[in-house]
Structure 1
Amino acid sequence: MCLLRVEQVTKRYAAHTALDDVSLEVPRGAVYGLLGPNGAGKTTLIRIINRITAPDSGRVFFDGRPLAPDDIYRIGYLPEERGLYKKMRVGEQALYFAQLKGLSKREATERLRAWFEKFGIAEWWDRKVEELSKGMAQKIQFIITVLHRPALLIFDEPFSGFDPINANLLKNEILALRDSGATVIFSTHNMSSVEEICDHITLIDRSRNVLSGAVGEIRRRYGESVFRIDFAGDPAALSQQELQPYCSVLGIKRGAPYHTAEVRLVSPDAVRPLIGLLNERTELHGFSEVIPGMNDIFIRAVNGQLEQTDHE
């Protein structure tokens, strides 16, 4: 069962359509990537889910029922445009936001102390926010977002400004939150992050949902029947003429101890006879499909290079 369902949501601002009949389902206990170029409509959709604004048409369901005002207490949102009150002390401000989310001061203090220790920032409790580095401030905001243990977490470009070590720390925490039962919406332009942590994605482009599904299934769906062959022997054995009934040779790279070739199959049925021919002509050591990365799929989708039938 999905935790969040968006049905045919449309939102217009004057002459601009920010969202045009967008639908999606976010499975419970998953990391769901919300992708798209700048201006595609991602932030507008996030604002609707958070009840910051309302759709012109369409509906949003949370936990099996229409999204209600009190549901904001079960949502944690870390926006891309972040801000803390610079003159307040770090611990004081974190407590203030935690209590806004319904935690008692005692419970909030206990949870905050534990998170500050985990992130190695306990000594900053009584320092002013204006003394924090950008990365340190983002850690504080991450903690504030997850502290009340919401059912749904929404992170908008959470790794922006982080060095690789701290980005990896946050990635692991997001996965741990998912494993503990939270559902996560992850909005990003970083396709490597999508492949590392997202279970499902929706790609929004020009205000419309152009692609949705499980990450692994989408990568397989948009493969182009390209295979990598690792072999020993004479590369000339892979002549285009002999292989033509089964594939076209995209390139051969000589190496030691094995050469590598990439080929595109003429059909899925060509796998068995091709492997048979390769075993006859070469010392075959590897035969594997080249699965496209999400970055390639993103670019092809935004440029309109994916077949319409694949979107359905």
Structure 2
Amino acid sequence: MQNILQEPIEDYLNEKSNNFGGNSLADKFRNQFPQQIEKIIIDKIRFKVIGSPGKGNWTECPWIAILDTLITETPQKGYYPVLLFRSDMTGVYLSLNQGVTDVIENYKREAKSVLKLRAEDFRAKLDIGKTNLVEKIQLHSSTKNAKHYEAGNIIAKFYSSDNLPNNEELRSDILKFLNYYENLTYSDTSFSEEPEYGFEKKQIRLHKRIERNSNISKKVKKIKGYQCEACSMNFRDKYGELGDKYIEAHHLIPISTLGIGKFRVDYKNDFAILCSNCHSMIHRLKDPSDLEQLKKIVLKNFT
């Protein structure tokens, strides 16, 4: 796996003087290098690895990112671990960083300030103790994206070009950063449940992230349709075009069965399609996975 650092460090600047299209090193960034990192990731359904030497032309700072699909499907938004190469190839960072494109589009000239504030907030949620990790990175580039990646860095480890890690060291570091990533995944406090045990709290947070993941919800709705499975309401029947294809997806799997750090999704059987009212009511049941009980309640009280 060491060649994913060594080869770009040695060859990238020379290759930049060659044609971008059909270039073998550019192709390795898109395919071979990400595939090598994927081999050390256990849950290949939840995580995906994307590499980029640029789009249409060489970028100054090529990268390889590991995305948790519960957080983001694209490196343009969210946060994720990423291997970020300096523009002069004097080294590479393993950085827990933020997608910058979405922030730039939304905050314009204030984007760097927003990224720095978010990075400080993320760091406050991590317990990293005394390590050789750095809060500031220098990519030696004046490009817009590079400057924003510098601002978006949460924590990073630097590998100098003359002191690159061996395969085992790099593998160990990537797994450590995935653990930091996991800790941030469970740091969401935007809901009120406060279970007694931390393990259960993590399960609930994973449950919430799966349920709220828009990509998963879209696939569930496409498969199961848009009629509430508890009360049979269809928003289009009541609201016309305004309610067309509107419904909510509820994750049925009990939190006690969710493995920390893993999930497998069965779009047809793991979810219920519910109207807003039934979705709220099923969360009030002692067992929010008991769709049949909710159906009985609806039927009993139907007038």
Normalising by the smaller structure, the TM-score range is under 0.3
Q: Which structure dedicates a bigger proportion of its chain to strand?
A: 1
Q: State the TM-score, normalized to the length of structure 2.
A: 0.22
State the TM-score, normalized to the length of structure 1: 0.22
* Greater RCO (Cα-Cα under 8 Å, separation 6 or more): 1
Rg comparison, structure with higher value: 1
